[in-house]
Every structure is written in structure tokens, then in C-alpha cells.
A and B are shown apart, each in its own frame.
Chain A
Amino acid sequence: MADGQVAELLLRRLEASDGGLDSAELAAELGMEHQAVVGAVKSLQALGEVIEAELRSTKHWELTAEGEEIAREGSHEARVFRSIPPEGLAQSELMRLPSGKVGFSKAMSNKWIRVDKSAADGPRVFRVVDSMEDEVQRRLQLVRGGQAEKLGEKERSELRKRKLLAEVTLKTYWVSKGSAFSTSISKQETELSPEMISSGHLHPLLKVRSQFRQIFLEMGFTEMPTDNFIESSFWNFDALFQPQQHPARDQHDTFFLRDPAEALQLPMDYVQRVKRTHSQGGYGSQGYKYNWKLDEARKNLLRTHTTSASARALYRLAQKKPFTPVKYFSIDRVFRNETLDATHLAEFHQIEGVVADHGLTLGHLMGVLREFFTKLGITQLRFKPAYNPYTEPSMEVFSYHQGLKKWVEVGNSGVFRPEMLLPMGLPENVSVIAWGLSLERPTMIKYGINNIRELVGHKVNLQMVYDSPLCRLDAEPRPPPTQEAA
């Protein structure tokens, strides 16, 4: 029978069966070789989820060839017994019989026969009992009939010692219906050639970036230029009123450049105002009262945040008179020279939003944050006092995580300090509110990735990129629709 035909028979039997079937039993029923059924099982397995096949190992007892013979003809000792006439038989003759040698000693120990050594023409064998039970044959017949379990351990062992029985391991399959069960077989495409694959894929982190860009644009925010990984300490720190002795400015947290080491182009009149504010105060501030150094401000670095781009944008805005309110955003790469671990790399992406207008309040900042996070599907927010060198007041933003059942931080925000804005030339009653978060964190949460190295960099598994689904930031994964009750 062809493989396909066996397979179809199997499927039909399976459909009719309750729960499943055993391959060996099926083979016996269909009257075919077990291997043929196994072949069919294997070809069905290759089709996917049509069947489920569980490999089972069963041991059972089988008669050896000799055991078969004895089951048929009787044990040697029984044959010996039967060949002895009432008048007895010469032992020498007996021994010449086929079963003689083996059967004689056994029949003797069974006490079925006896030897009369004193007989005239040599030892003579006589029956002791009139009839006997051929236990061995009976037992073997039981086994042959598939009822080996009716024998005791000892009996089976004995027979095995006499090489009449053998324990055989039979590997069978327990076959049951798979999730894609059907009684008809369709041949699957077994060879995928490259020509068949012509799809490209976008990187999940950048898919999320596209979504965030959309959100900002929907809220009327204009994108800031951020196409400079390299920045001067001046724009990265000093312009933001971050003092020169601040820990973030040392080698441990920031990547400084060896070449080119210094920024040469800085707007010097603005630099002077910044210097004065740091060292002496002004604009209503006490200042930090330390010696501000131009050399320190010139040091080039890989930007540690995109807030430096915001500073540049606000400075440009301040040069335009009269003042017009703006909303700015950026999403781009930043660099930190920190300890690396499962959730931290030296490079990551920062998302930043900025609003500059007259009379903005902390309440406005909270309102903007609420709208922004609502577009991410986050509606429950709480705000906590925090500290940033360049914002005051500052707030950490928390949202309630349903899964973890606790409040988790989702962003940082604040109102830029007047010491930062006024030296730029922005009018005194203009407030600038801002907030930021990382791009990697929401991406890792959305795509269920625990180690940032599996998301960013060259060691990423491309299969992850191939398989990453659409990014829908505002939708929570919905449970699959429940089946209608039968």
C-alpha cells in the first residue's frame, strides 16, 4: 500500500477514534507491517499540526524460535516422557532422540521418569507417573497468546534463562488529532527558495520612533535639528546652567573627545552672559559662585542628552524678535559613559518635548503630559518632585502598570530655570516647559524584550527584526475572542 494511502487510512481511523490510537494496534488491525504505519505517521508529522504523535516504548515478552517450537511441539521433557513406552526405553536410545539430551534431565528433575541402572542391557528409563502436565508448553502458549502477564516473574525469568522467552522493546506511536487535523492531506511546500522571500522589514525601535514622531506632529510640535552627535560642553552643560564641577561632567559619565578636543565656534557674547550667571549670579539668581572656565566649556563631547539641541533651538528662537510661542520636539541618539548592563548601553535614544510661551504653569506641563501619554494609551498619571540641574520645578512622571500592580516611572519633566533662559535673551515672562523619556524603554516593554542588546546594535538577531509586529502605541493587546460554547 502506498504511503499516502496508509496515511489517509490512519487519518480516517483517527477521526473515528475516541482520543487516539496506537500504531502497533492499528498495524495489527489493518494487517500490515508496523513499520508501514510508522512511515505514515512520520509523513503526517512533517505536514505540521495535522496529528500529534507521542513516541511510546513498550516492552513485551516474545517467544524465541526455540520457544515457538516448544509451544508447538511441547517441551523437550514432555516429548521425552511421551516417547517412553510402558516397558521403558533404553537410555542410550533415548539419548539419541532429538529432545533426548535436553529433555532427559528435566524430566528426571520433574520426577516424571526414572532410570533403572540395574537393567540387563544397560540403564533403562521408565515412566514414574501416568501422565503429566506440560507446564512449559502451556506457559509458552500463554505468552504466544499475548497473555504473558499471567505468568509470574519467576516463571518468566526461568523461561528466559532457558532462552525460550525474550523481552522485546517495541516503539509505537500514540497518535491523536493535532490542532490542524483534517482527513485530507494537502502537500505542503517543502522547499523555500530565495525568490519566494522578497519582503523587507523595518527595525522595531525605529517603528516606535515613527509612532512617537506622529504623536508629536499630531500635537503641533515642530521637529528640532539634532543631526550632530558631537557637541561642545558649552551647549551640553553650561548653557543649561549645569555647573562645571557637576559629577555628570566627569570622565566617568561623559565621552569626551581627544580629537578634535575643543569647540572653536561659540557665540562669545552669550558665553560671557553664561559665565557671569554661573560665577556671580544675576537675573535674580545667586549663581553658583565658582570660577567658571572657558576651556572647560570648549571641551567637545558626545552629547549626553538632546536637551543641548533644545538649548540651541531656544537660543535661535530668542534671537528672533518679537517672541513667538513654539512647540518643539526631537528624538535622537545620546551617549553616556556609564556602567553597562541588561537595560543600559552606551548609546540610546532620547525623546524630548518643549513648549515655550508666555505664562506657562506647572499645571500646563501636567496637562500637556496628560495629552501626550494618553496617546500612548497611558491615562493614570502621578507626579513626584524631582531634581534636575536645569529645571525647577522638576517632576518625575509615574503611570500605573496593570501587570506589575505598581506605579512605574515613565518620564522626567520640568520648567527650565531662568538662569538658562534669560542669558539667551528670551523675554522674562516666557516660560519653557519640557519633558523627556527614553525610546528604548517603551520599545522593550511593547515588544517584550528584556535585554537591550537584543534590540540595538549589530548583535541583534535579525529574526527578531523580521518577526517584529506593527507598532501600535495606543492599543493594549486584546485577548483573543472566546469560542462560542457548543
Chain B
Amino acid sequence: MPTVSVKRDLLFQALGRTYTDEEFDELCFEFGLELDEITSEKEIISKEQGNVKAAGASDVVLYKIDVPANRYDLLCLEGLVRGLQVFKERIKAPVYKRVMPDGKIQKLIITEETAKIRPFAVAAVLRNIKFTKDRYDSFIELQEKLHQNICRKRALVAIGTHDLDTLSGPFTYTAKRPSDIKFKPLNKTKEYTACELMNIYKTDNHLKHYLHIIENKPLYPVIYDSNGVVLSMPPIINGDHSRITVNTRNIFIECTGTDFTKAKIVLDIIVTMFSEYCENQFTVEAAEVVFPNGKSHTFPELAYRKEMVRADLINKKVGIRETPENLAKLLTRMYLKSEVIGDGNQIEIEIPPTRADIIHACDIVEDAAIAYGYNNIQMTLPKTYTIANQFPLNKLTELLRHDMAAAGFTEALTFALCSQEDIADKLGVDISATKAVHISNPKTAEFQVARTTLLPGLLKTIAANRKMPLPLKLFEISDIVIKDSNTGPAFFPGRCAEIFARGQSVGKLGVLHPDVITKFELTMPCSSLEINVGPFL
């Protein structure tokens, strides 16, 4: 779950009232959020680096709020406040408008070189915006949160925000050879080529995670303005020239990526959230993007969509009996402006660009239920009449377990994943003969394969319980994973047997070979029995 960190007092100021921690916790519970932690910068540094380092840090109270993974509109203070205010009916949901500029429209031209690496781009302008330090921090933080979530760590979409007054359009989004790209990136004092930057950022704790997205490609994406100034080299870093400060008044936003739908959603989120601080509140200036095929599109889309849902459908799905008018009110509180139309049974719902998570009527049903209050819904039992059946394999297993324990054996529960050694070398077999299933990229040897026999797990359990009094009698009845059946020389020659039941081979038993015993770090003689339960069903 994504976590948003907001200054408590700023939050309360924006909400227009204060809450006790308990009251706010309750509000979050109702709305589907979670007040995960109440802390401060000082406490955070103190926990991570000790009290000395924390000495000068701020002890302004911070609320860490967990937000559902599909609610991109709640990833910043601005969005949270707006959502909560509408939920509590203290404000009406603002309407976001795209407006054409007074002068020339800003243009972003995409060249065909980007096609192989990062084909999509969208852009918009926030005009006459007023930042304070907090608003500025929030703006940067939202980009980071979006990068981590919907953008899948910048792989799908990357956001670049620039001070428009330092640039001059039209802008070109192209891809060039790394050695041909040279600029002064954010937070650096001189120019570097892209190759040099890739090297430098290898040790940057933040940026090193994104290098792989373009590192090995022949061409790197880059955006220029009409004077050759580099705006950014997505998805790695922006140029220093156009960096945003608290005093920036006009912002040019570009989102590039490999997923067009997500790029559009991301752009919509940023502009809807922060257009609140534009002189012309909640308006966003349009930008034009020209694709390699010559076609142009205007962004941001800021599309409002209308959906029609029957009131009785909502009632039926939730299990309540609200009038269509009440349902419309409930939905409006969830930022889905609704009104009753037609025969009095239909509700027309307006879905704003901030709610990309609404893709089916069931999403609307959920919002109605949340506004109604889950805990206000009456609990009823379905009239579903069914006769229960056990899964035969599990039924037999339960019977066997109890009788094994009655026979004096103790049940073990071992891991299904183990090392190759455990099922091969230690049992005197070659791994290729085991027909085992192999895991890709195991973190440690313990996750290399899935067990093909239960024996290693039991032997490891004994090895870990060496100090227990003898005898040790263990059993386990559980799944193994094999590509097909195999036999193994784990047993002492002449001291093993194959088990037949009803004319079919069902397993093996015998005295374990001393090599097997030593490889599992055991010292006492050991015998084992393994039967496939399947044939007995």
C-alpha cells in the first residue's frame, strides 16, 4: 500500500478543522485509508541514525497515511484534502478545465527515433502557479509517489516538470546516441555526456535503480527546447537549466513512457492536483503533442465520462434499500457527481479524470457502499443450500495422519523449496535424474528447487533436533513436485524394497545409506518409508 506523509497541522488547516488522533483514525477507517503512523522528521532520523543526527531536525507532527494502491488521486495532501472534504460534504468537487492559451500553444514534437525505446509522450502547462515551500515539496513528492506506483519505478512512465520561463518552445522529444547527449543535469555544476552520467549515477542511491531502463540501448531519449537546451533525459534526470523552484510561475510538464494510457493518467493526476494553486484555479493550459506520423493531439485529456447505473442494481449488490436520490448523494460524496434521471431509477454518474480507477459499474457500487458505511450494512446469510464434500486426497490424508500419530510418529511440517543438494547430491543422485522443477533467480540455495521427495525435509528436521532423546520417529504427508517419477539410490544396498499395493508400485522403504546420513549431518542409523498416497484414493 502506498504511504503518503503529510504535516498534520497543514492537513487540519486545509480541512478547516482539527481532529484528535482517534477521530482522524476513525475518519480514515470510514474512507478506506489507514493512519499508519504518527511521527516527525526528528523521530524518523532518530530511529534510523540515532539521536545525535536527529538533533536539528524538525519535530513537526507528520501523519503517515496508507492509501489504496489504485487511488492516484489520494497520493498527495491536496488530493487527500479534496477527497475528504467532498466526502464530508464540506465542499463541492471542483471541475477541472483544460483551456487554450492566450498566445501560442506549447508544442512537443516526437521524432521516430523514440519509437524503439520510449515511444509515448504527453504534455501540459500549469499557468501562473503560486508555490510555497510546502506546496513545492508536495509537488516534488507526488511525482516521486507516482513514479513508484503507477509508473512502475519509471519504467512505464517518467515525469519531467520544468520552469517554462527558462525555456522556449517548440520542444522536441527524440532519441540520440549517448555520446551525443551533453548537458548540465539537476544538482550538478557542469555539463556531462550521457555516458558519463550513466557512470556517475551508478553510485547514486536514488537514481541507480533506473539506469537499467535505457542503459543498454543504442539511443537514449532526450527532450530539447528550440535553443537546444536539454529539458530532460527521461527516465533518468532533468536538466538543471529548467529546474523548478518555489518562485516558478509557469510549469511545463512532460510525461514520457511505454504505456500511453498510464502516461495520460499520470499527467491528468498531476495537473488536477496542483491546478488548485494556479491563478485561474483548476484550469490547465493545453499543450499539443505531434506524433512521428504527423498527427497531433491536445493534452491533458481531462476527460469526464458519463456512466449510467440503475439504482436498484446498486441496492441489490450492496444489500441496502436506498432511494435513487440518496444513492446519488452518496456517490457525489465519493467525488462521483451523480443525479437521478430518466424514469427515476437511473443514476447518471460523472466520472472525473482523477478517478481512473473506475472502470466498471462494480467500482461505482463499492463507492456507494463506502459512503453508506460498510458497518451500517445489515448482515444477512445467503440462502445457498449445499452439501459439503471433502477433497478425497485430503480426506485420506487426515485419516492417515491420525493413525501415524497413534502409531507413535510425530508430524513434521517442512519447506517445499530446498537446495539442489538436498534432493540430489545428498541422496546420491544426479540432479538431472530427479526431474525436479527449478526456480529462476533464487535468492539463496534454499530456494533452488521444489522438493521431489519428503525425505530431505525430515532428515533436516532430525539434524536440527540432535539433542532430543532417541528414538526420533517422524512423518509428513504433503505434496512433492516432480516432472515425472524416479527411483533413487538413497538406500543401503540390499536393505531396501519397493512397495506394491494391489499390483502397483506405490513407494519405497529401506535403511538409508551412511553417505546420505552423513550428508544431512546425522550420526545415528536411519530408515525411511515413502508412499504415494494417490493410488489409494
Q: Which residues of A contact B365 (CB under 8 A)?
A: 392-393
Bound state CA distance, A418 and B472, in angstroms? 53
Q: Chain A: which residue is nearest B476 at the CB level?
A: A203
Give per-residue flags for B135-162: 1 if the beta carbon is below 8 A from chain A beta carbons, else 0.
0000000000000000010001000000
Interface residues of B in 357-380 (CB under 8 A from A): 359-363, 365-366, 369-370, 374-375, 377-380
The segment from B53-61, B107-115, B280-288, B313-321 that touches chain A is B313-321
Return the chain B residue nearest A224 by Cβ.
B391
Q: In the bound complex, how far is the Cα of B443 from the Cα of A302, in angstroms?
A: 15
Q: What residues on B are CB-neighbors of A285 within 8 Å?
A: 359-360
Residues of A within 8 A of B384 (CB): 220, 325-327, 355, 357
Most buried by B among A199, A200, A261, A347: A200
B42 within 8 A of partner (CB): no
* Min distance, Cβ A13 to any Cβ of chain B, angstroms: 38
The yes or no answer to A251 lying at the interface (CB within 8 A) is: yes
**Least Cβ distance of B211 to chain A in Å?**
17
Shortest Cβ distance from A452 into chain B, in angstroms?
A: 11
B389 surroundings in chain A (CB, below 8 A): 222-223
Q: Mark B429-461, 1 if CB is under 8 A from A, else 0.
A: 000000001111101000100100000011011
List residues 238-265 of chain A with CB under 8 A from any CB of chain B: 245, 247, 251, 255-261
Chain A residues 331 to 368 lying within 8 A of chain B, measured CB to CB, are: 333, 335, 337, 346-347, 355, 357, 359-364, 366-368
* A143 adjacent to chain B (CB < 8 Å): no
Of B124-132, B411-419, B498-506, the segment with at least 4 beta carbons within 8 Å of chain A is B411-419
Q: Flag whether B421 is at the interface (Cβ < 8 A).
A: no
A395 touches B374 (CB 8 A): yes
A177: chain B residues within 8 A (beta carbon): none
Contacts of B415 in A (CB 8 A): 346-347, 456-458
Rounded to whole Å, the gap between the CB of A331 and the closest CB of chain B is 9
Task: Give Cα A325 to B380, complex, Å.
Answer: 17
B472 surroundings in chain A (CB, below 8 A): 462
Closest beta carbon of chain A to B369's beta carbon, Å: 5
- Check: A194 CB closer than 8 A to any chain B CB: yes
CB distance from B508 to the nearest CB of A (A): 21
Chain B proximity mask over A407-438: 1 for CB below 8 Å, otherwise 0: 00000000101110000000000010000000
Contact B388 A217 (CB under 8 A): yes
Contact among A223, A288, A385 with B374 in the assembled complex (CB-CB below 8 Å): A385
- In the assembly, what is the distance between CA of A256 and CA of B442, in Å? 9
Within 8 A of B (CB), among A364-403: 364, 366-368, 370-371, 382-387, 392-395
Tell me if B32 counts as interface (CB < 8 A to partner A): yes
CB neighbours of A205 from chain B (8 A): 413
The distance from the CB of B119 to the nearest CB of chain A, in whole angstroms, is 12
- A188→B70 CA distance, assembly (Å): 67
Closest Cβ neighbor of B372 among chain A residues? A362
Chain A residues positioned under 8 Å from B410 (CB to CB): 200-201, 203, 462, 465-466
Closest to B315 in A: A361
Contact indicator A337/B377 (Cβ below 8 Å): no
Does B405 belong to the interface (CB within 8 Å)?
yes
**Which of A224, A257, A281, A355 touches B382 (beta carbons < 8 Å)?**
A355
Contact B318 A362 (CB under 8 A): yes
Which residue on A lies nearest to B1, using beta carbons? A387
Residues of chain A with a CB closer than 8 A to B375's CB: 382-383
A302/B439 in contact, CB under 8 A: yes
Residues 33-54 of A contacting B (Cβ, < 8 Å): none
* Chain B 383-408: CB-based contact to A (< 8 A → 1; otherwise 0): 11111111101100010011011111
Q: Are A364 and B479 in touch, CB under 8 angstroms?
A: no
Q: Judge if B471 is at the interface, Cβ distance under 8 Å.
A: yes
Cα–Cα distance between A227 and B435 once the two chains are bound (Å): 18
A346–B461 CB distance below 8 A: no
Of A347, A384, A415, which is within 8 A of B32 by CB?
A: A384
**B187 contacts which chain A residues (CB < 8 A)?**
none
A221 to B382, CA, bound (A): 13
**Residue B95 at the chain A interface, CB threshold 8 Å:** no
- B169-177, B221-229, B462-470 - interface stretch: B462-470
Q: How long is the Cα–Cα vector from A225 to B231 in the complex, in angstroms?
A: 57
On whether the beta carbons of A387 and B29 are closer than 8 Å, the reply is no
Query: How far is A333 from B414 in the complex, measured between Cα atoms in Å?
Result: 11
Q: Does A95 sit at the interface, judged by CB under 8 A?
A: no
From A202, A283, A289, A333, contact of B405 by CB (8 A) = A202
A284 at the binding interface (Cβ < 8 Å): yes
**What CA separation (Å) do A98 and B175 show in the bound complex?**
119
**A88 contacts partner chain B, Cβ-Cβ < 8 Å:** no
Say yes or no: is A183 at the interface (Cβ < 8 Å to chain B): no
**In the complex the two chains form, what is the Cα distance from A217 to B375 in whole Å?**
28
The proximity string for A residues 316-336 relative to B, scoring 1 for CB distances below 8 Å and 0 otherwise, is 000000000111000001010
Residue of B34, B363, B394, B457 touching A213 (CB-CB under 8 A)? B394
How near does chain A come to B47, taking the closest CB pair, in angstroms? Answer: 17
Question: Does A287 count as interface, using CB distance less than 8 angstroms?
Answer: yes
Contact A258 B439 (CB under 8 A): yes
- The chain B residue sitting closest to A457, CB to CB, is B415
Contact B359 A281 (CB under 8 A): yes
List A188-216 residues whose CB lies under 8 Å from chain B. 192, 194, 197-203, 205-206, 210, 213, 216
- Shortest Cβ distance from A382 into B: residue: B375
Q: Are A284 and B382 in contact (CB under 8 A)?
A: no
CB distance from B312 to the nearest CB of A (A): 11
Of chain B, the residue at the smallest CB distance from A286 is: B359
Q: Give the residues in chain B near A226, CB-CB below 8 Å.
A: 391
* Contact of A286 with B360 in the complex, beta carbons under 8 Å: yes
Which of B382, B406, B439 has the largest number of chain A CB atoms within 10 A? B382
Closest to B69 in A: A387
Which of B366, B405, B447, B460 is A385 in contact with, Cβ under 8 Å?
B366
Answer whether A359 and B393 are a contact pair too, CB < 8 Å, given A229-B479, A259-B438, A417-B360: no
A186 near B: Cβ within 8 Å?
no
Q: Are B32 and A386 neighbours in the complex by a CB distance under 8 Å?
A: yes
Q: Which residues of B contact A198 (CB under 8 A)?
A: 408
Q: Does B381 contact A (CB under 8 A)?
A: yes
A192 — nearest CB in chain B belongs to which residue? B469
Residues of B within 8 A of A335 (CB): 416-417
**Complex Cα–Cα for A404 and B468 (A):** 36
Question: Digit string of A458-474 for contact with B (CB within 8 Å is 1, else 0)?
Answer: 11111101100000000
B152 x A364 contact (CB < 8 A): no
Question: Which residues of chain A are within 8 angstroms of B412 by Cβ–Cβ distance?
Answer: 203, 458, 460, 465
State in angstroms the CA–CA spacing of A230 and B473 once bound together. Answer: 30
CB-nearest residue of chain B to A200: B405
Which residues from A are CB-within-8-Å of B470?
194
Q: Give complex CA distance A203, B384 in Å.
A: 34
Contacts of B206 in A (CB 8 A): none
Closest to A199 in B: B408
28 contacts between A and B (CB under 8 A): A200-B407, A200-B473, A202-B411, A213-B390, A217-B390, A221-B388, A224-B391, A229-B450, A255-B417, A256-B441, A257-B440, A283-B360, A286-B360, A363-B377, A364-B382, A367-B379, A368-B381, A370-B379, A383-B374, A384-B29, A384-B32, A386-B68, A392-B360, A393-B362, A393-B365, A458-B412, A458-B415, A458-B460
What 5 A-B pairs have minimum CB-CB distances, sorted nearest first? A363-B319, A361-B319, A385-B32, A393-B366, A200-B405
